[in-house]
Amino acid sequence: MSNLCHIAFIMDGNGRWAQRKGKKRSDGHRAGADTMQDIVNICFDKGIKHVTVYALSTENFIQRPKDEIDELLVLVRQHLKHSSKHFNRLLNKGIKVEFLGDLTVFDNEILDTIKKVRQDTLDCSNGQFNIALNYGSRDEIINAVNLCVDSNTKVTQESFNRYLYTKNIPDPDLIIRTGGDIRLSNFLLYQAAYSELYFSNTLWPDFSKKELDDIISNYSSRKRNFGSV
């Protein structure tokens, strides 16, 4: 099988899932968070070292109603608090948790959770769970460019990588987007230069282990050239 070191998910379709069931969008996000727990754990059980989830984009943060953002952030806190099943499963597996994005916009409650999770998993080395929160590739790249300018040294691909939110994280091998739309929506644009992309019509809360297995099997059959013959 082609090496699968880093898998990333654009978890789209929570709102439509809820709408189709006559529920509130927040119910869709809740169901989506449960799916995320299961899928992320399955990925680590498969031996995948890096799992990244797109939980909130810079555009979501600006453009969605405050209530919806607040509900999403409550879910993030619930899933990362010490008593949560999800957090304990990650801790027991020795998984480090990291956050990608501009975190300066968040209030102390969420920042304290992030700080604690980072501290508690700092020495974990069996895998890494990356949560993209208020993440946008354009923001990330502009931020990196400014850091480069401040450093006053010639920029190389290597040094530029160190200024990205994804420093120390290998580029994604496979990016899966659910929800039926065929776009990246400002996710890992620089890092996805040679990623394999997979688009599924399934709405994220319905995404299953079976579909993940099928996609990974499809990925394994692809030939990755990286520009070679």
- Give the interface with ligand IPE as residue ranges (CB under 6 A): 10-16, 54-57, 60, 72, 179, 181, 183, 185
Write the interaction track for Mg ion spanning residues 3-22; mark x where CB under 5 A is met and - where it is not: ---------x----------
CA dist 147 to 190, 201, 215, Å? 16, 39, 37
| Smallest separation, CB 136 to ligand IPE (Å) | 9
Q: What's the burial of 62, exposed, middle or buried (CB within 10 Å: 0-12/13-18/19+)?
A: exposed
| Smallest separation, CB 16 to Mg ion (Å) | 8
Catalytic-labelled residue, pool 41, 60, 130, 134? 60
Kindly tell me which of 74 and 91 has the beta carbon lying closer to ligand IPE. 74
Would residue 146 show up in a list of annotated catalytic residues for this protein?
no
Catalytic-labelled residue, pool 12, 14, 27, 173? 12
Would residue 143 show up in a list of annotated catalytic residues for this protein?
no
Which residue is listed with tokens 């659910």? Answer: 178
Kindly tell me which of 4 and 72 has the beta carbon lying closer to ligand IPE. 72
Contacted by 106, from ligand IPE, Mg ion, none: CB < 5 to 8 Å by type: none
Among candidate residues 121, 118, 126, 120, the one with its CA nearest the CA of residue 48:
126
How far apart are alpha carbons 222 and 1 in whole angstroms?
9
Contacted by 57, from Mg ion, ligand IPE, none: CB < 5 to 8 Å by type: ligand IPE
Kindly tell me which of 54 and 219 has the beta carbon lying closer to Mg ion. 54
Among candidate residues 47, 170, 179, 52, the one with its CA nearest the CA of residue 198:
179
| Smallest separation, CB 169 to ligand IPE (Å) | 18
| Smallest separation, CB 206 to Mg ion (Å) | 14
Kindly tell me which of 12 and 196 has the beta carbon lying closer to Mg ion. 12
Q: Does the footprint of Mg ion cover residue 140 (CB under 5 A)?
A: no
Contacted by 46, from Mg ion, ligand IPE, none: CB < 5 to 8 Å by type: none
| Smallest separation, CB 71 to ligand IPE (Å) | 10
Contacted by 14, from ligand IPE, Mg ion, none: CB < 5 to 8 Å by type: ligand IPE
List active site positions.
Answer: 12, 60
Positions touching Mg ion (CB under 5 A) are: 12
